[in-house]
C-alpha cells in the first residue's frame, strides 16, 4: 500500500495551524491580562506597589522622542532607528547568451539612539524594540543612482558578462513623533529611569496599533487558523480514507479474481481424467506456483501467454 502523502501533508498542516492558532489565542489572553497605563506619570507609582518577585508587564502609549535623534542622509527626516541598505543592480549573461537582471547586497547598516515614549505627563525609555513583535520601520527614502557609463568600465563589464545599471539605496526609519503602543516589562534602574523591555517570559510588542486593536487582530488570526486547521484536517482524513478504501477494494478484487481462477482450475481438473500437465513440474523456466494455476483471467480456460506490465 502506497503511503497517502497528500493526506498526511494535510493532517500535518492542520496540526501546525492548530498550534499556531492556539499560540495566537494565548498571546491575545496575555495581552488582556497586562496592566494598562493610562498616563505615563502613573507608571512610577505602579512600579512601587508592584510585586518585586513577578515581572510587571504593562502596556503604554505615547510619541517617539529622543535627546539625540539621527538626521537621515537622504530623506532629511529625524529618527531614532535608521536602517540603510544599498543594492547593486546589473544585467548578467547566462549560459544561453541572454541578459537577465540581478542584484547583490552591497551595504546593510543600522543605527539606533536611546529613545523614549512621551505623552506629555511623563517619559519611559524603550529597550530592544527592534526585536519586538509588530515593529516596522517606515520607508523614508528610495533612491536609484545610475552607474557611470565610461568606455573602459563598460568594456570591462561586458567582457565579464555584466552590465552595471546602478545602485538602489533604501532608507527605513522610525521617525520622531510617531505614535506607538508598547507592551513589555516595566523596570526602574538605579538612577530612577523607567524602562520598558522584553520580559523574560511574556509578550513584547511595539506597534502603531493600540492594545485593543492588537487583541482583536490576534483573535482574528486565531479564529482563521482554527477554521483552516479544521478544513485541512477534514481534507487529510478524506484523502487517507479514500486511499485506504481503494487499497481494500483492490485487495478484494485480487482475492475474488484468484478465487475464480482457482475454481476454474479445479473444475478443469475434474473434467480432465488425465490431469493438467503443469509447466512447473517439467523444470522449464516458465514454472508456475502450484497454488496459483497459469490460467487466463479472462477466459478461465486457456493458459496465459502474455502480460502487460505497468
Residue 150 pLDDT greater than 70, yes or no: no
* Per-residue pLDDT tens digits for 59-80: 999 999 999 999 988 888 899 9
The count of residues in the chain is 310
Q: How many CB atoms lie within 10 A of CB 158?
A: 11
DSSP state for residue 304 in the 8-state scheme? P
Cell numbers for 14: 492542520
Report the Cα 177 to chain-centroid distance in Å. 33
Q: How confident is the model at residue 288 (pLDDT cuts 50, 70, 90)?
A: very low
| CA-closest candidate to residue 147, choices 115, 186, 103, 203 | 103
- Give the Cα separation of 101 and 249 in Å (integer): 54
* Per-residue pLDDT tens digits for 25-44: 988 998 898 888 888 888 88
Identify the weakest region by mean pLDDT among 24-38, 65-79, 150-164, 175-189. 150-164
DSSP state for residue 67 in the 8-state scheme? S
DSSP state for residue 116 in the 8-state scheme? E
* Per-residue pLDDT tens digits for 108-119: 999 999 999 998
User: H or E segment at 85?
Assistant: strand 78-93
Residue 63 exposure: Cα atoms within 13 Å on the Cβ side: 8
- Give the Cα separation of 282 and 83 in Å (integer): 86
Instruction: Locate all alpha helices (DSSP H) within the chain, ordered by sequence.
Output: 5-33, 42-49, 151-159, 211-271
The CA-atom distances, in angstroms, between 93 and each of 98, 147, 151 are 5, 18, 19
Q: How many CB atoms lie within 10 A of CB 253?
A: 10
Three-class SS state of 130: helix
Q: Kindly state the average pLDDT of the residues 105-109.
A: 89
Contact 154, 90 (CB under 8 A): no
| CA-closest candidate to residue 22, choices 225, 215, 216 | 225
Check residues 60 and 47 and name the one with the higher pLDDT.
Answer: 60
| CA-closest candidate to residue 235, choices 1, 2, 4 | 4
Residue 124 pLDDT greater than 70, yes or no: yes
Contact 35, 60 (CB under 8 A): no
- Give the Cα separation of 2 and 122 in Å (integer): 67
Domain boundaries, the chain: 35-202
Cell numbers for 155: 568594456
Report the Cα 68 to chain-centroid distance in Å. 38
Handedness of CA 177, 183, 184, 190 (dihedral sign): positive
- Give the Cα separation of 179 and 117 in Å (integer): 8
* Per-residue pLDDT tens digits for 254-279: 888 888 888 877 777 776 645 444 44
User: H or E segment at 64?
Assistant: strand 57-65
Cell numbers for 43: 507608571
Residue 306 pLDDT greater than 80, yes or no: no
Q: pTM higher than 0.85 for the full model?
A: no
Amino acid at each position: 500500500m502506497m503511503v497517502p502523502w497528500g493526506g498526511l501533508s494535510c493532517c500535518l498542516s492542520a496540526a501546525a495551524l492548530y498550534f499556531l492558532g492556539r499560540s495566537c489565542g494565548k498571546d491575545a489572553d496575555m495581552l488582556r491580562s497586562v496592566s494598562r497605563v493610562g498616563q505615563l506619570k502613573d507608571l512610577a507609582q505602579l512600579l512601587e506597589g508592584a510585586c518585586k518577585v513577578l515581572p510587571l508587564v504593562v502596556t503604554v502609549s505615547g510619541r517617539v522622542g529622543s535627546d539625540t535623534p539621527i538626521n537621515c542622509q537622504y530623506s532629511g527626516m529625524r529618527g531614532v532607528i535608521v536602517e540603510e541598505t544599498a543594492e547593486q543592480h546589473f544585467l548578467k549573461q547566462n549560459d544561453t547568451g541572454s541578459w537577465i537582471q540581478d542584484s547583490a547586497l552591497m551595504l546593510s547598516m543600522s543605527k539606533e539612539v536611546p529613545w523614549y515614549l512621551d505623552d506629555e505627563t511623563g517619559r519611559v525609555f524603550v529597550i530592544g524594540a527592534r526585536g519586538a513583535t509588530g515593529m516596522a520601520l517606515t520607508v523614508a527614502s528610495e533612491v536609484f543612482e545610475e552607474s557611470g557609463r565610461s568606455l573602459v568600465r563598460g568594456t570591462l563589464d561586458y567582457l565579464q558578462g555584466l552590465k552595471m545599471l546602478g545602485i538602489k539605496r533604501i532608507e527605513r526609519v522610525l521617525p520622531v513623533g510617531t505614535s506607538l503602543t508598547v507592551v513589555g516589562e516595566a523596570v526602574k534602574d538605579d538612577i530612577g529611569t523607567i524602562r520598558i523591555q522584553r520580559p523574560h517570559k511574556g509578550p513584547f510588542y511595539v506597534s502603531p496599533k493600540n492594545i485593543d486593536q492588537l487583541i482583536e487582530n490576534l483573535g482574528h488570526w486565531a479564529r482563521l487558523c482554527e477554521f483552516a486547521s479544521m478544513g485541512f484536517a477534514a481534507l487529510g482524513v478524506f484523502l487517507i480514507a479514500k486511499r485506504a478504501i481503494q487499497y481494500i477494494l483492490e485487495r478484494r478484487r485480487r482475492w475474488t479474481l484468484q478465487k475464480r481462477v482457482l475454481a476454474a482450475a479445479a473444475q478443469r481438473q475434474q473434467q480432465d481424467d488425465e490431469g493438467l500437465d503443469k509447466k512447473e513440474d517439467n523444470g522449464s523456466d516458465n514454472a508456475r506456483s502450484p497454488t496459483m494455476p497459469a490460467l487466463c483471467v479472462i477466459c478461465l480456460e486457456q493458459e496465459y501467454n502474455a502480460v502487460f506490465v505497468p
